Structure 1
Amino acid sequence: MKRYLVMAMRKPNFSDEVIAPHLAFLDELRAAGQLEMTGGFSDKSGGAYVLKADSQEEAQAIVHRDPLTTYGSSTLTIYEWNTR
């Protein structure tokens, strides 16, 4: 399994209405063993989370389901992360 860092940066049209569905989505990922850590930036510009997935394609499919993506309120960028 590989790790993927997902950077989620808020767009100008960001709405607080997406926060609860996004947190529920992250809870589901954690319960499935696919989420290692998550957190928001102190300046409220966005946040990041670390996924565990077998491939970039799998990570992209997961991120595509994130309410931050489906609501169009944030730009999510995925990086394969070679941690030590």
Structure 2
Amino acid sequence: MNTRPVFLVILMRRPVVDPAAVEAHRAFLDALRAEGVLERSGPFADKRGGAYLIHADDLAAAQAIVARDPASTSGGWDVTIHEWQAL
């Protein structure tokens, strides 16, 4: 069981999203999953965005991970990160 803090990353789509960035974002999430960093991910039912849960040592480490996400670097989404104290 992973005991590091959990961070909720929320992505809200902007009006224009590059389809190539979507595919690169999915590949990024697959890599995080393979590393054991990503716990869950998925789109919102209304397709306006999505979210994912990652494990990181602290907020700065979570921000560094998200800064590599093509969804973050492409400018197609508004991204927020919250440390989540889920039970």
The code of the aligned residue for 2:14 comes to K
- Tell me which residue corresponds to 2:21: 18
Q: CA deviation at 1:17?
A: 2.1
Runs of 4+ in 1 over 6 A off after TM superposition: none
The code of the aligned residue for 1:2 comes to P
Q: CA deviation at 1:16?
A: 2.1
Q: CA deviation at 1:10?
A: 0.5
CA distance in 2, matches of 1:19, 1:42: 17
- 35, 55, 60: which one pairs with 1:57? 60
Q: TM-score, normalised on structure 1?
A: 0.96
- Tell me which residue corresponds to 2:69: 66
Q: CA deviation at 1:15?
A: 2.3
Identity %: 48
Q: Which runs of 5+ in 2 are unaligned?
A: none
Is 1:42 the counterpart of 2:45? The answer is yes
Q: CA deviation at 1:3?
A: 0.1
Is 1:77 the counterpart of 2:55? The answer is no
CA distance in 1, matches of 2:83, 2:55: 10
Length, aligned pairs only: 84
